Amino acid sequence: MPTAATTILVILGALVITLIAASLHFYQVAVSRKGNKKAMSSSPDLEQDDNPFTPPEVMAWVREQPLEDVSIVSHDGLTLRGYYLPASRPSDRTVILAHGYTGDAIGNMSALAKLYHESLGYNVLMPDARGHGRSDGEYIGFGWHERKDYGKWIDYVIGRVGAGSQIVLHGISMGGATVLMASGEKLPDQVRGIVSDCAYTSAKDILSYQLKRLFKLPAVPFVPLTSLVCRLRAGYLFGEASAEKQVARSTKPILFIHGEADTFVPFEMVHRLYDSCVSIKEKLVIPNAGHAVAYFTDRELYAGALRSFLGRFVHDRSAAAEESRVPAQVNG
């Protein structure tokens, strides 16, 4: 007959094995590129339209554009790919867009690309994040490794457009967290502003929230254990991937945007991010907007706030130069 001590050891052993298995599974679901993301993508907190980010008129516009395939090599040797679209008139202003979790550049960011290109006159760079789209990578960095990738993309733009470049980083969801995490790094003077739309405070916070909301499981012990798995397999801990900590080091102007009805990345997170930010900052709340659809919910409000923010820090030198070439009128 087994003793009480043996029974306890067996139970503890089974519990440990169960926790390890659950952590490995959660890593596959949340972090691994090959993992099944159906639970996340089918969340009731997300728009379930067939293609909420690229309505037909936007896709028609994309097909007409002379998109150039471009690539860089990351600090850890991955080939990262994207699309470059020069402005209709020569410009030193470039936006680097950052898409969301499990998305891709064309599928997530084309509407904003059209806004920047057609209405604002910017060059547009749309990268596929590591582990997404056409880029290399076997895991998702939740913005932490991607922050360094965006440093490389910034260098690419400066090398292409010139030392006089004026660069804006604009991300949505995980892309928003990515550009906020990049904001805490030493960025060149050419980066004039950052726009973050519906970003989370940290990978730890959003995964803890989603674990409870989607799977009815507590954060402890699953998130800490999965974080250790992530450290071993992907090289980072969830707590490291913190936009909230990075904006506390930022020196760049930041526009924080969030939909008031967002329950996928809780609306309250934008207030924490804004309050933690030590640089010049603005906040835009879009009423009735769910996750990642703030622009589509109120395009006029979104575009107006964006234009106003960018107008403070990014200057249309091509327009100024053109005006200087217009002959002065002589009265009389």
Q: Where does residue 136 rank: exposed (0-12), middle (13-18), buried (19+ CB within 10 A)?
A: middle
* Residue among 79, 90, 84 nearest 152 (CA): 79
**What predicted TM-score, i.e. pTM, was given to this entire model?**
0.91
User: What pairing do the DSSP bridges indicate for beta strands 123-127 and 79-85?
Assistant: antiparallel
- In sequence order, the 6+-apart residues with CB closer than 8 A to the CB of 187 are 151, 154, 251, 252
- Asked if residue 273 belongs to a domain, the reply is yes
- Residue 203: partners with Cβ closer than 8 Å, 6 or more residues away: 142, 143, 144, 177, 238, 239, 240, 241, 242
Q: Does residue 272 form part of some domain?
A: yes
In a domain, 217, yes or no: no
In tens digits, what is the pLDDT along the chain, a chain of 332 residues?
A: 568 878 887 777 777 888 889 889 999 999 999 877 666 666 676 765 556 788 899 999 999 999 999 999 999 999 999 999 999 999 999 999 999 999 999 999 999 999 999 999 999 999 999 999 999 999 999 999 999 999 999 999 999 999 999 999 999 999 999 999 999 999 999 999 999 999 999 999 999 999 999 888 899 999 999 999 999 999 999 999 999 999 999 999 999 999 999 999 999 999 999 999 999 999 999 999 999 999 999 999 999 999 999 999 999 876 554 544 444 444 43
Instruction: Decide if 287 is inside a domain.
Output: yes
pLDDT of residue 42: 62
Does residue 1 lie in a domain region? no
Give the number of other Cβ atoms within 10 Å of residue 56's Cβ. 8
Residue 277 lies in a domain: yes
Which CATH number covers residue 65?
Answer: 3.40.50.1820
Q: Give residue 323's pLDDT.
A: 47
| In a domain? residue 11 | no
Residue among 220, 87, 209, 70 nearest 135 (CA): 70
Q: Which of 98, 279, 271 is nearest to 193 (CA)?
A: 279
Which residue type occupies 229?
A: V
In a domain, 128, yes or no: yes
Cβ atoms of 110 and 138 within 8 Å: the answer is no
Alpha-carbon distances of 64 from 54, 114, 118, 121, 123, rounded to whole Å: 14, 11, 13, 17, 16
Domain that holds residue 110: 31-202+241-314
Domains of the chain: total = 1
